[in-house]
Amino acid sequence: MTPRPLHVLVVDDSAVVREVMSALLSQEAGISVAVAADPFIAMTKIKQRRPDAILLDLEMPRMDGLTFLKKIVREDPIPVVVCSALTGPGTAVGLQALEEGAVEVVTKPRLAVKQFLHESAIILIDAVRAAADARARAPRAPAPAPRLNADVVLPPAAKPAARVPTETVVAIGASTGGTEALRVVLEAMPADAPGIVVVQHMPEGFTAAFAQRLNQTCAIEVREAAHGDSLTTGLALIAPGNRHLLLCRDGARYAVEVIDGALVSRHRPSVDVLFRSVAQSAGANAVGAILTGMGSDGAEGMLEMKNAGAFTLAQDEASCVVFGMPREAIARGAVDKVVGLPRMAHEILNVPWQKSRSAAGRG
């Protein structure tokens, strides 16, 4: 199906950034772009032609991006994608923008790096389409582009992992709208909750700050994953932006690997990569949950988890910002139970391990 046409307004005080953003977005059929050097010009452009989504810088003259975002959310809720720097003040303000109603945060493209520009195009196009879908609540498949699966990072296992006496592991994947969804789930976890591994599609530099914020409000410990970290009771590890996260096992001990690699299912980190590693390392000792997000990342990996004996959950459409990822997992038969976000933590903690499952599914 051909994606519907979108009109995007790029608001940034840098002429170079406006030019690059316009070029990246305009290369996609069906996307038209307007630009504005500051929020006042943007408001005039909006009156002339209301955009489907706004790509917004945060540090601008005359009116900062966060103030403009609050004005948009209050007066005319056009979906906003924040475009911010990787580190420094932009990180904290970018997270605040998500709390104030921005749909997603992406990083400014680093210029003159061919591969990064290619990946930036995929990320930016998906972000603005996800923003438009979040408002309409009618997700579509991402625009055609080179698509790799988890094989490029982690080969399939010869057979599902057998269940052995060891701790339960929870694996969670999320994208658009996931920062708030994860907050709801993780804040509901008790201090003795099983170890949790998380992929949230988020830019490099933002995941550490995001984890720190969650750590302040959760009973469990939450931190950005580092290569070799042990996964223990009462700990949630969040994949670093721009790196894949894998679960591995040494006897009854779980640890994580943080590695580079190609975009998988259009993302790095990829939920498919995490879920496959959990299927291989934890098998029937795992619980998987796929939350709000555009596209299909995580659907195939969740099916592998289910086939390995894990219990799998998907967030329901009513509580999703974008139902794309849960919908795809459900369509593939990868989901044992669909639940609303307020009950997700309860369902994760109360898994019916003795559910009916075919012998083939158990390996």
* Global confidence as pTM: 0.80
Average pLDDT across the chain, whole number:
85
Residue from 57, 297, 316, 336 carrying the catalytic annotation: 297
Neighbours of 1 (CB within 10 A): 5
Residue 280's pLDDT band, with cuts at 50, 70 and 90, is very high
Of 220 and 19, more confident: 220
What tens digit of pLDDT does each residue of 65-98 get? 889 999 998 888 898 999 877 555 557 888 888 8
* Residue 151 pLDDT: 75
What tens digit of pLDDT does each residue of 28-40 get? 888 999 999 999 9
What tens digit of pLDDT does each residue of 3-58 get? 778 999 999 998 988 888 888 888 888 899 999 999 999 999 999 999 999 999 98
Beta bridge partners of 54: 9, 80
Residue from 126, 201, 265, 319 carrying the catalytic annotation: 201
pLDDT at residue 105 tops 80:
yes
pLDDT at residue 138 tops 80:
no
* Spacing of C-alpha 28 from chain mean position: 22
* Residue 97 pLDDT: 86
Same fold flag, 6-136 and 150-362: yes
Considering only CA atoms, which of 183, 180, 198, 169 is closest in space to residue 351? 169
What tens digit of pLDDT does each residue of 347-358 get? 999 987 544 443
**H-helix segments, 36-113:** 39-48, 65-75, 89-100
Q: How far is CA 83 from CA 13, 21, 217, 230, 297, in A?
A: 12, 10, 26, 33, 22
Residues in the chain: 363
Strands 311-315 and 286-290, sheet pairing: parallel
Contact 310, 283 (CB under 8 A): yes
Q: How far apart are CA 219 and CA 231, in angstroms?
A: 16
Among 45-49, 103-107, 108-112, 353-357, the range scoring the smallest mean pLDDT is 353-357
- Locate 270 and state its tokens: 């990829």
Q: Residue 175: what residue type?
A: S
* Residue 132 pLDDT: 82
Residue 137's pLDDT band, with cuts at 50, 70 and 90, is very low
* Residue 156 pLDDT: 78
Contact 316, 291 (CB under 8 A): no
Q: Does 201 participate in catalysis according to the annotation?
A: yes
The three-state secondary structure class of 50 is coil
The three-state secondary structure class of 60 is coil
Helix, strand and coil in the chain, % to nearest 5: 40, 20, 40
- Locate 269 and state its tokens: 């980190």
CATH architecture of the domain covering 150-362: 3-Layer(aba) Sandwich (3.40)
* Residue 109 pLDDT: 64
pLDDT at residue 360 tops 70:
no
Contact 340, 291 (CB under 8 A): no
* Residue 355 pLDDT: 43
Residue 270's pLDDT band, with cuts at 50, 70 and 90, is very high
Domain spans, the chain: 6-136, 150-362
Residue 2's pLDDT band, with cuts at 50, 70 and 90, is low
* Residue 139 pLDDT: 33
Contact 261, 244 (CB under 8 A): yes
Q: How far apart are CA 270 and CA 275, in angstroms?
A: 9
Q: In what order do the strands lie in the sheet with 253-259?
A: 230-231, 253-259, 244-250
* Residue 160 pLDDT: 53
* Residue 234 pLDDT: 97
Residue from 22, 84, 175, 270 carrying the catalytic annotation: 175
* Residue 223 pLDDT: 97
Top-tier CATH class for 6-136: alpha beta
159 half-sphere exposure, CB direction, 13 A CA radius: 6
Q: Residue 279: what residue type?
A: A
Taking the alpha carbons at both ends of the chain, their separation in whole angstroms is: 37
Q: How far apart are CA 348 and CA 359, in angstroms?
A: 23
Share of the chain above pLDDT 70, in %: 84
